[in-house]
Chains A and B, each alone.
Chain A
């Protein structure tokens, strides 16, 4: 909202994707910032509050829709009022009511505006905090509206504890239409993503690799995972022995399950192997653990760049594993490989 801002986007005229150099890709705009604290107490019946450098800005559904119009994204979430699991019952009920109202206002705006928003699909936001009844109500009511898909709000780890998340999630999604996609924000580790998939979620964001990189951590998918999950049969003994060698670095990645490497640790100072031997990302194809360690301890920007490239690549690889496991009926194996 602040940068580039409504005016700049309008003047540019070709949508947000073009302005930021992503014209070949799709953009999804969500209504709140998942990296920050949810300051829900400042939301009101007619608007939610957004925090920028200049302070607090109130955004109504119409303001929001106007902004979406100049962004021309592929998808956008409706404006929503999200509360954490520990909000009062009264407040939680209000968040469901308000969000439905916002949804209807956004839908209304779409109808009025003719062609301007038709190329952008709208997603409903399912609210309800930690209350099962509200979750079900929000899901059922949202399902009645003509939306493209559903986002599950309020399930991040700073809004709800982990047990509650996986209690409520399946109970919520089972009240959503089967044939429409479900998206969730800020769900992290591979183990949790697997559970979320089991609960009926289809899309995730990249909060996890971003967080890892900020903490100098690198994902290390077990090499076996990639191999075995992609085959529809069980790995034969021959295939298992295949790449074995007594090389030290290879011994490291004969690790049976998913793990994380902290590149800041001293032990990587003289480790001239790539971060993950079997990874094909730019960083692993061109650089060593020792070099990345050096960059990190010297606060060089390139360290973060290389880590992020790697983590995104591994993350995508992980989703490939999920899909393979589903196709090849290897769910239990997947769970075992990524239990943390």
Chain B
């Protein structure tokens, strides 16, 4: 069970310690990775991730389409905004409608009529975060299903089986995820188990030619554990690598250092996916975001060398009437917007900003579901614009200036969060 299975025969690598304009690519049967440009100052890169259903430009943000839909928006609307890849939740889809049905439908792509790339998670995180009673053993994760009576067991094999049926371009290993604020031996146990589960996932994976299995680095906030984990995990030679176990409310100063360590140690010629940034700050079903700036995480972590992100934040916050803008957030429920006949952001090109005013949105926000759709469209557009700007600036080797301008606009009073200042300074960007 602990033997690493060789992943692919053909591997063409032009390594490695390349300077800014070098182009390196790895060909696997299901993923074609290419670095288009590297920032000369920081660790940021702009890449092309060639997947079976589409090529994805990074740094990339993946919106979360939990149950096969993006909260009231159609696949076409998501595609029109410009997303090339979305995320589906195995936990939900694995129970409703279930993998057999989706397999009958020719996979998740056909079932929801989304013809670009999809990434599915393993189902593990949601069980732990959504389900009251869950128990982790070496076998897998035991939990009480909220959809029916009885106890279910999610094993690495089962997770891969479901994900194979769903047919996503990228699938995630089942990992033993613990809260980042947890300390003690459980963290180390989880790290080792994650590696053992990775090997089980690799063995169980049937569709290596059209689905990419990503591994997940664990180890909590402990640098040594992270190092050990990476050392082992890299040997398994998966097409991509995720950094897990963060964004659970940990101290930001530690958070960025862990991300930085990981990106320094992980191979350059593979995509790095930072999972659920901002997730820990989205308290479910409240609109208490306490001025938290999720966009800052994306910019800073891109500077540290992360390529892929996901989060429910933009669409969840839309449901509470909050619009994301370059200078922070606008809570449209507030009476100050009642007579404000400007669009959310006059520089935004989305449908909502082209046609509707803050005053109108303020009117409908608590009563009409279309308000939620309009805000989701705006927030997702904001998100994609941000990523495009990051990418563009890297391609033009103007990323440090972009970061400075971005931070100035977000924190007009000059009160930058210290962790961001430190993180950026570590990669030679001085605010």
Show the binding face of A for B, using Cβ within 8 Å.
3-5, 7-8, 11-12, 19-21, 269-270, 272, 282, 286-288, 290-291, 294-295, 297-298, 300-302, 304-306
Main SS class of interface, A: helix
Of the residues A21, A290, A297, A304, contact of B111 by C-beta under 8 Å? A290
Cα distance A29–B69 in the bound complex, in angstroms: 35
Note all chain B residues with C-beta closer than 8 A to A301: 69, 71-72, 369, 372-373
Note all chain B residues with C-beta closer than 8 A to A295: 67-69
Tell me if A3 and B67 are in contact (CB < 8 A).
Answer: no
Note all chain B residues with C-beta closer than 8 A to A5: 363
Tell me if A20 and B67 are in contact (CB < 8 A).
Answer: no
Tell me if A12 and B359 are in contact (CB < 8 A).
Answer: yes
Which residues of B334-369 are within 8 A (CB) of A? Answer: 338-339, 341, 355-357, 359-360, 363-364, 367, 369
Tell me if A290 and B101 are in contact (CB < 8 A).
Answer: yes
Query: With contacts A294-B96, A300-B72 known, what are 20 further pairs, Cβ within 8 A?
Result: A3-B363, A3-B367, A19-B357, A19-B359, A21-B355, A272-B104, A286-B74, A286-B75, A290-B97, A291-B68, A294-B68, A298-B67, A300-B68, A300-B69, A300-B71, A301-B71, A301-B72, A301-B372, A302-B71, A306-B74
Of the residues A7, A12, A20, A286, contact of B113 by C-beta under 8 Å? A286
Of the residues B74, B355, B360, contact of A305 by C-beta under 8 Å? B74
Tell me if B113 and A270 are in contact (CB < 8 A).
Answer: no
Which residues of B47-89 are within 8 A (CB) of A? Answer: 67-76
Shortest CB-to-CB span from B92 to chain A, Å, is 8
Tell me if B111 and A291 are in contact (CB < 8 A).
Answer: yes
Of the residues B69, B111, B338, contact of A8 by C-beta under 8 Å? B338
B105: interface (CB < 8 Å): yes
Tell me if B96 and A4 are in contact (CB < 8 A).
Answer: no
Note all chain A residues with C-beta closer than 8 A to B97: 269, 290, 294
Cα distance A301–B369 in the bound complex, in angstroms: 8
Number of interface residues of B (CB under 8 A): 33
18 contacts between A and B (CB under 8 A): A4-B359, A8-B363, A12-B357, A19-B359, A20-B360, A21-B355, A272-B105, A290-B111, A294-B111, A295-B68, A295-B69, A298-B67, A298-B96, A301-B71, A301-B369, A301-B372, A302-B70, A302-B71
Of the residues A11, A21, A269, contact of B341 by C-beta under 8 Å? A11
Q: Select from chain B the residue with minimum beta-carbon distance to A290.
A: B105
B7: interface (CB < 8 Å): no
Note all chain B residues with C-beta closer than 8 A to A21: 355-356, 360
Q: Select from chain B the residue with minimum beta-carbon distance to A294.
A: B97
Note all chain B residues with C-beta closer than 8 A to A305: 72, 74, 373
Cα distance A302–B77 in the bound complex, in angstroms: 12
Q: Select from chain A the residue with minimum beta-carbon distance to B76.
A: A286
Quick one: given A3-B363, A272-B105, A290-B101, are A302 and B76 in contact (CB under 8 Å)? no
Tell me if B69 and A302 are in contact (CB < 8 A).
Answer: yes
Cα distance A220–B357 in the bound complex, in angstroms: 37
Tell me if A12 and B96 are in contact (CB < 8 A).
Answer: no
Tell me if A297 and B96 are in contact (CB < 8 A).
Answer: yes
Of the residues A7, A269, A304, contact of B101 by C-beta under 8 Å? A269
